[in-house]
Amino acid sequence: MNRRATLGMSIAELVMARIGHAVAALCLLFVLPILPFLAVAGAVSALLRPETDRPGPSYRPVWTDERA
């Protein structure tokens, strides 16, 4: 049975689908092994980051002025 006739795709569409599968496989092959290291690095960075003192706002709204 002709596969192109069954799927209703042209040769160019089949080639593009194969290229897409190859690109996805390469992404999984190269990116997936790096993800655990990135996750650990992010967690360690979040834990070791010093907490900055957040000062209050430096302005005072007019309605809080007691002299008025």
- pLDDT tens, residue by residue, 12-33: 888 898 999 999 999 889 888 9
Identify the three-state secondary structure at position 31: helix
Q: Is residue 34 part of a domain?
A: yes
Question: Could you list the residue range(s) of the whole structural domain that residue 30 is in?
Answer: 1-46
DSSP 41-68: HHHHHHHHSPPPP----S---GGG-TT-
- For the record, the structure tokens of 43 come out as 């967690």
Q: What is the sign of the dihedral through the CA atoms of 7, 9, 15 and 21?
A: negative
Q: Is residue 21 part of a domain?
A: yes
For residue 1, the model assigns a pLDDT of 44
For residue 23, the model assigns a pLDDT of 94
For residue 40, the model assigns a pLDDT of 95
Interval 32-67: pLDDT, tens: 899 999 999 999 988 888 777 777 667 776 776 666
Structural domains of the chain, count: 1
Q: How far from each other are the two terminal CA atoms of the chain, in whole angstroms?
A: 90
